[in-house]
Structure 1
Amino acid sequence: MARTTLERVESYLPERSVRIEELSEHLGLRRAELGVFRKFYGLETLRFDPGLDLFDLLRPAARRVLDALPDGGRVAWLVYAHTTQAVTPADVEPAQVLRRELGLDGAEAFGLSHQACVSSLGALDVIGELLRAEGDENAYALMITGERAFSPIVQHIPNTAIMADAAAACLVTLDGRGDTVLSFVTRTLGEYADWLDLTPEQSNDFGQQYGPRIAEVIRLAVAEAGLAFDDIELIIPHNVNMLAWRQAVKALEVPLEKVFLDNVPRYSHTFASDVFVNYTTLRDEGRLVEGAHYVMVSVGLGATFGAMVITHHEGETPA
């Protein structure tokens, strides 16, 4: 079976950076709550630009990955993966706007959101199936992810995260020169679907399950890839908070250094874009190793846990 490959990965972060204390009035957070986010969850700054249009956020990374489209290649699919189900007014279809603005009139375009922050990894899995069904060696797909923290109810997840602005994009094909997708595993705990109305007992139960469930999907994805955990160079995670990842690391029984957490205090949680923001940070710092295996991991409210194992190849290079 032809393997899904990531031919180019790019991310985009707005220039405006704010300290979490600057959002206290906007989010209605007391000093004690901010102290918890800084001291225990490890958040310090994040990118947040209320004046930035959604499509201005999404276009830069998408345009950069399209620069890698080879002569003769065609974008058959454009998939916009997002966490919040409604990111635009009801009369605006963001995937169609992106197709038009990027000049991809020949592509089929649609949005995907029902795995929340795992939607971007899920979109890559869907894209692989679509390309295999397409059966055209010149066919590519463009996956775009990113959304704005457009209101306090979206930006503040109580006792969990403060959301930030970012976007990312991947150019995807089959059996290309880029990073090879070896496996993708998800687990959904539907009993936590109504996240905002969980009882205190349900919230506590979910907190107890969080680390073990992340560890479970990571180990399942590694096994499905035909690897042992010792074969994994690094875990590339979502940036929800440091406390959650300490719980996951404890469940995995690995050193904290096995998970790339440098961007948690710098950028906070950026919806479904985290793993790609972290990937491009590692790549641009020269920290991705040719032929090494990595696990991209995210968790979506609702609650879906997802892990994807990739093998890095230097054929994927920055623009």
Structure 2
Amino acid sequence: MFIQHVSARLPAISVNLLEQPERFNLTSFKAQIYKKFIGIEYVPVAVPGEMETLLEQTVSAAVPIDSRERIKLVVHAHTCPLVGNYGALSMQRVLRRQRLHNALFVGMCANRCASVFDAMRLIRQRLQEQPDALALLVTGESAVTQELRLVENTAVMGDAAGAMLFGTRGPGNELLACCSHTYGQYARGVWLEGAPRASYETNYPAMMLQIIQADARTGGDDAGSGALGYSHNVNRKSWIELARTIDSATFPSDAGKHPISRGTAVGSDMMLNLSHLTSTGALEKGDVYLMIAVGLGGSFGAALFRYWKMMLLCLSGGLRRLSGVILIMLRYGWQEKPYSYEQLWQASALIAGNTDA
């Protein structure tokens, strides 16, 4: 299975967390803490009605006009059952306007941010049954309540939309492996308290590393001949903890300087970052890259791809603010020994658009 096209959109407005902390029910002092320790400075926020427009633009860009009749499945992977203001957002309307009349439409959100990988497996199964068909994976939702917008002491959720078109043949990025695992003891997510919460925070890097290693093993020999990377989908603190799990060597004095500055756009981060890597030429033919996501409730997922050639379509502005969240790339190949911090740091800086990387 191949990613044939990718498209991503950010809202027109990105709110500066330090300048407008009240929009997120934060004090100025708390906003400074979020920036210093978590790394968030800007949060893309869609105005009412904009999210459906963004979704339609990404779908339109990802699907060539002459391929629309071949699309048999559209999966909207989102993090919450509520994807926008009631009645104001409808993927069915988007699909009708885009004339995707032959497509079965389903939505899924059971594993929150990691639902993207559930969608990939469903798409792979459908395309195995209909190898001449195409399938579309769509992400995009708006954090319409304070509870959705702010994960206390962890992240500030932004808005975005993305789409990936899959087929059984290239040109495109070949899916080598797709794995996920749910740790049910953490199903309460943000409502974890006491010992379970402490256990989750302690074990988070190790659980992330396990799903990465499982994905690399499933990818077989192909996983060892290209570029493989590691990152996270939450914040700078999580990145550093994961890096320390992978690399036990002494960290440089600037270990806290991570280039993430945009609030996570949940499932759409993967499309945003893949689009950025493709448009900047960071990926070379034969490189292997990894998509990673963690959903609230102990759901971990990863997908391994080999980069060949792909159409990049319709990426909105703000590339310099794109974080290294969820999708990452290194040029050092799979290795049994730990990756060095310098390797991890270079990959994250590259994805964030840091020209010094």
TM over 0.5: yes
Q: Which of 137, 152, 165 matches 1:158?
A: 152
In structure 2, distance between residues paired with 1:303 and 1:140: 31
Q: CA–CA distance in 2 between the matches of 1:305 and 1:240?
A: 12
Structure 2 equivalent of residue 300 of structure 1:
295
1:245 counterpart = 2:239: yes
Q: SS of the residue aligned with 1:288?
A: coil
Does 1:268 find its partner at 2:268?
Answer: no
Amino acid across the alignment from 2:239: W
Match for residue 41 of structure 2? Answer: 44
Q: Is the 8 A contact 1:84 1:113 kept in 2?
A: yes
The answer for the alignment partner of 1:86 in structure 2 is 82
Q: Residue 177 of structure 1 is aligned with which of 171, 181, 194?
A: 171
* Alpha-carbon distance change, 117 to 37 in structure 1, aligned in 2, over 3 angstroms: same
Tell whether 2:150 aligns with 1:120.
Answer: no
Give the direction of change, closer, same or farther, for the CA distance of 1:254–1:64 in structure 2 (3 Å limit). Answer: farther
Give the deviation of 1:239 after TM superposition.
Answer: 3.9
Shift in Å, 1:89: 5.9
What is the percentage of aligned positions where both structures have the same residue?
A: 26
Q: Which residue of 1 aligns with 2:26?
A: 29
26-35 or 278-287, which deviates more = 26-35
Over 3 Å counting, the alpha-carbon distance change for 1:28 and 1:74 in structure 2 is: same
TM-aligned CA distance change 1:207 to 1:201, over 3 Å: same
AA in 1 matched with 2:263: S
Alignment match, 1:16: 13
| Post-superposition offset of 1:170 | 0.5
* CA RMSD between the two structures: 2.5
Does residue 56 (structure 1) correspond to residue 50 (structure 2)? The answer is no
- Are 1:143 and 2:137 counterparts? yes
- The Cα shift of 1:238 comes to 5.2
Q: Which moved more, 1:85-94 or 1:196-205?
A: 85-94
**1:197, distance to aligned residue in structure 2 (A):** 2.2
Task: Please state whether the residue corresponding to 2:220 is helix, strand or coil.
Answer: coil
Q: Secondary structure at the match of 2:139?
A: strand
Change (3 A) 1:237 1:249: closer
Q: CA deviation at 1:44?
A: 1.3
CA distance in 2, matches of 1:116, 1:6: 22
Query: What secondary structure sits across from 2:205 in the alignment?
Result: helix
Answer yes or no: is the 8 Å Cα contact 1:50–1:150 preserved in 2. Answer: no
Instruction: Give the whole-Å Cα distance in 2 for the aligned partners of 1:123 and 1:204.
Output: 30
C-alpha separation in 2, matches of 1:306 and 1:19: 30
> How far 1:229 sits from its partner (Å)?
6.9
Q: State the distance in 2 between where 1:156 and 1:207 align.
A: 18
Distance 1:18 1:317 in 2: 27
SS at structure 1 position matched to 2:144: coil
Which stretch of structure 1 is more off in the superposition, 44-53 or 302-311? 44-53
Q: Give unpaired runs (5+ residues) of structure 2.
A: 252-256, 315-357
1:153-194 per-residue CA deviation (whole Å, 9 max, x = no partner) reads 100001110000111000111132110000011111112212
User: Displacement, 1:88?
Assistant: 4.3
User: 2:264 and 2:174 mapped to 1: Cα distance?
Assistant: 25
* 2:276 aligns with one of 269, 277, 281: 281
Matched residues in 2 for 1:52 and 1:96: separation?
15
Query: 2-side partners of 1:315 and 1:282: how far apart?
Result: 12
CA contact (8 A) 1:193 1:301 kept: yes
Matched to 2:208, the amino acid is I
Q: Is the 8 A contact 2:232 2:239 kept in 1?
A: no
Q: State the alpha-carbon separation in 1 of the partners of residues 78 and 67 from structure 2.
A: 30
* Cα distance between partner residues in 2 of 1:263 and 1:109: 37
Aligned residue number for residue 102 of structure 1: 98
CA 1:202/1:181 → structure 2, altered by over 3 Å: closer, same or farther?
same
Tell me the distance in 1 between the aligned counterparts of 2:222 and 2:71.
35
Q: Which residue of 1 aligns with 2:334?
A: none
User: Once structures 1 and 2 are overlaid, which stretch shifts more, 247-256 or 49-58?
Assistant: 247-256
